[in-house]
Amino acid sequence: MKTILSIAAVLGLTATVALADGHMHMNKAVNAGDQDVSSGVVRALGVTAPENGWLVVHRTDESMKPGPVVGHAPLAAGENADVAAILTEKVKPGEMLMLMVHSEAGGTETGIFEYTLGAKEDGPIKPDGKLVMTTITAK
Sorted by where each starts, the structural domains of the chain and their CATH numbers stand as 28-137 (2.60.40)
Helix (H) or strand (E) holding 70: strand 69-75
Enter the pTM of the model: 0.80
The CA-CA-CA angle for residues 59, 64, 66, to 5°, reads 40
Closest CA to 87 of 58, 66, 111: 58
- How many other CB atoms are found less than 10 A from the CB of residue 73? 20
Q: Does residue 15 surpass a pLDDT of 70?
A: no
Task: Supply the pLDDT for residue 27.
Answer: 65
Residue 23 confidence class, pLDDT cut points 50, 70, 90: very low
4-24 mean pLDDT: 35
CA-only gyration radius of the chain, Å? 19
Q: Does residue 112 surpass a pLDDT of 90?
A: yes
CA–CA separation, 48 vs 84, rounded Å? 14
Residue 117 confidence class, pLDDT cut points 50, 70, 90: confident
Average pLDDT of the chain, as a whole number: 84
